[in-house]
Amino acid sequence: MANLTDLIKKNKEATEILELLGKLGEKSGMDIYVVGGYVRDLFLGRPVKEFDLMVTGDGIKMANLIAKKLGINKVVTFEKFDTAHIPSNPYPIEVTGGRTEAYEKDSRNPHKIEPADIQTDLRRRDFTVNAMAINLMPTNFGELIDPFQGIVDLQSKRLVTPLSPDETFSDDPLRMMRAAYFSSELNFELDDKCLKAMAKQSERISIVSQERITTELMKVLASPIPSIGLRILQSAGLLKFVFPEIDIMVGLEQTSKWHHKDIYTHTLQVVDNAAALSEKPELRFAALVHDIAKPRTRRLVKNKGYTFHGHDEIGARMVDKMARRMKLSNHLKDYLQKLTRLHLRPIALAQKNVTDSAVRRLMVAAGEEIDDLMKLCRADITSQNPKLVEKYMGNFERVEERMRNVQERDAMKAFQSPVRGEEIMKICDLKEGKVVGKIKKEIESAILNGEIENSHEAAMDYLLQKKDKLLF
């Protein structure tokens, strides 16, 4: 067993909490361990996000003791699973009593739970890299418990299940989604036995709630290289259950100078391109669905190749149906629909004869999402021809320049003198007419030329100083 005290103590704040937890365990007569993600990320040098604790005894009782010690009034408990959540800051804490679990075929929730020691508890974990624990008791603080050689798999960058993958995935099919997520997040290779087991168990994903599936899918999209996880889902046969609109793209060629031949391959590249441009999972989701209607609108035209007329608008309607099935928020649904509907429009604005009103209409249609739309358009260029990439990227730069110019001109048109016409008439003893308008223009020009500040006081001083001159 390796002593990890020095490694743990690199984070002073986390160390103080862990040492406190160990002392509480000693005082209460319950052994306490930090398990799972914290241990894995400690070895990988990743930042601390939360603490998952396992105790040999009453998990909820220990959670209440911890909360009281930390001055936290609210503890969320799950009596059936002897689990409690403490919303502490900066590190949320999850406390569970050590246990074994037994499952029925039609549910991922255990129907039988029995107390267990740390060695036995770690057997129920999803992957060996998550099946490690560190002893927090003062006499053994920093002792590593690693019964399944998770350290070896960390070093090898492999995802392996502690038990048979058939058993692991059958007990809780959501672990198949987590396999895709951890592969993407950590850039680890999924063990072949795991992939084969996922293929056999893929239909069991149907017993998992849609909300949990969607949550894990969003985690995949939020990972550094989302295509890794998406490819795993597809190759294991899960994608046809999780996202059939994307799975159907596999093998469908598209004739294009700037796209990959295969719609699916192109789509995954767009997602990875979007990930390189933005950390926003919503934008990556938009990249995943932007061509969702291409399989439905795909037509082979003689001497031209494949066409996809209307796939932007039809795609937006398909997104609506998909969003309801996947239990997405209305905000996310609207965002995905907007970007899907508009993703073809910016490239058309690169033409020389396009009017300012056309540019303005796109800006109004996109609204606050205009920047994300332009990022999606850039991500959509997946050609391997550097000259074509340069050409299309240049087009998008020109579109953005046109939008900036339109904005500036619109702002200029909307600009008005801080001194109103009624004030000019009163000060200059004028009636309503062209002279009043002329004076307003003179004041506006002085502001735009930087001669005076854009304020009522400065404009009024300018009017009083130049009044006589302005009247002639």
Tokens 């060996």 locate to 128
Backbone φ and ψ for 113, nearest 5 degrees, come out as -130, 130
283 or 304, which is more confident: 283
pLDDT at 111: 54
Task: Give 94's strand partners.
Answer: 52, 85
Q: In degrees to the nearest 10, what's the CA dihedral of 30, 36, 37, 41? A: 100
How many Cα atoms sit within 13 Å of 106 on the Cβ side? 0
Specify the range with the lowest mean pLDDT, choosing from 44-48, 57-61, 412-416: 412-416
Distance CA 218, CA 211 (A): 11
In sequence order, which ranges of 49-191 are alpha helices (DSSP H)? 59-70, 118-122, 150-156, 165-171, 174-186
The pLDDT of residue 128: 97
Written as six digits, the tokens of 43 are 């070895």
User: ∠ at Cα 299 (297, 301), nearest 5°?
Assistant: 150
At 412 the pLDDT is: 63
Q: What was the pLDDT predicted at 99?
A: 73
Q: How many residues does the chain have?
A: 472
By C-alpha distance, which of 31, 63, 38 is closest to 139? 31
What pLDDT score does 440 carry?
84
139 pLDDT higher than 50: yes
Which of 162-171, 252-261, 405-414 shows the highest mean pLDDT?
Answer: 162-171
Q: How high is the mean pLDDT of the chain?
A: 90
CA–CA distance, 174 with 161 (Å, rounded to integer): 14
Mean pLDDT in residue range 159-166: 96
Predicted local distance difference test score (pLDDT) of residue 98? 84
- C-beta neighbour count of 140 within 10 angstroms: 15
Q: Which residue has the higher pLDDT, 303 or 366?
A: 366
Choose between 327 and 356: higher pLDDT.
Answer: 327
Q: Per-residue confidence at 260, pLDDT binned at 50, 70, 90? A: low
pLDDT at position 353 over 80 = no
As beta bridge partners, residue 427 has none
Q: Say yes or no to pLDDT of 24 above 60.
A: yes
Q: 85 has which bridge partners?
A: 76, 94
Centre a 10 Å sphere on the Cβ of residue 357 and count the other Cβ atoms it contains.
Answer: 8
Beta-strand pair 133-135/158-159: unpaired
Question: How confident is the model over 437-470, as pLDDT tens digits?
Answer: 888 888 878 876 778 887 888 888 888 887 777 6
Q: How confident is the model over 97-120, as pLDDT tens digits?
A: 987 765 667 666 665 667 688 998
Say if CB 376 and CB 269 are below 8 A apart. no
pLDDT higher for 197 or 80?
197
Averaged pLDDT, 232-257:
92
Please tell me the chain's helix, strand, coil percentages from 3-state DSSP, rounded to the nearest 5. Answer: 60, 10, 30
Other C-beta atoms closer than 10 Å to the C-beta of 58 total 16
Per the rule left: phi > 0, alpha: psi between -120 and 50, beta: everything else, 31 is beta
pLDDT for res 2 = 45
Q: Strand, helix or coil at 104?
A: coil
Mean local confidence (pLDDT), 71-78: 93
Domains along the sequence of the chain with CATH: 5-156 (3.30.460.10), 157-242 (1.10.110.30), 251-414 (1.10.3210), 421-470 (no CATH)
* Overall average pLDDT of the 160-169 stretch: 94
Identify the three-state secondary structure at position 461. helix
3-state SS class at 179: helix
Helix (H, G, I), strand (E, B) or coil at 299: strand
50-64, 163-177, 261-275, 415-429: range with lowest mean pLDDT: 415-429
Task: Determine contact, residues 160/199, Cβ cutoff 8 Å.
Answer: no
48-57, 92-101, 195-204: segment of lowest average pLDDT: 92-101
Helix (H, G, I), strand (E, B) or coil at 29: coil
The alpha-carbon radius of gyration of the chain (Å, integer) is: 31
- CB-facing half-sphere around the CA of 184: CA atoms within 13 A: 28
The answer to whether 339 touches 376, Cβ cutoff 8 Å, is yes
Peptide bond between residue 138 and the one before it cis (omega within 30 degrees of 0) = no
In terms of Cβ atoms closer than 10 Å to its own Cβ (0-12, 13-18, 19+), residue 198 is: buried
Over the stretch 26-35, which tens digit does the pLDDT of each residue have? 999 999 999 9
For residue 338, the number of C-alpha atoms closer than 13 Å in the C-beta half-sphere is: 21
> Contact 422/438 with Cβ under 8 angstroms?
no
Q: What percent of the chain has pLDDT over 90?
A: 63
pLDDT level of residue 8 (50, 70, 90 thresholds) = confident
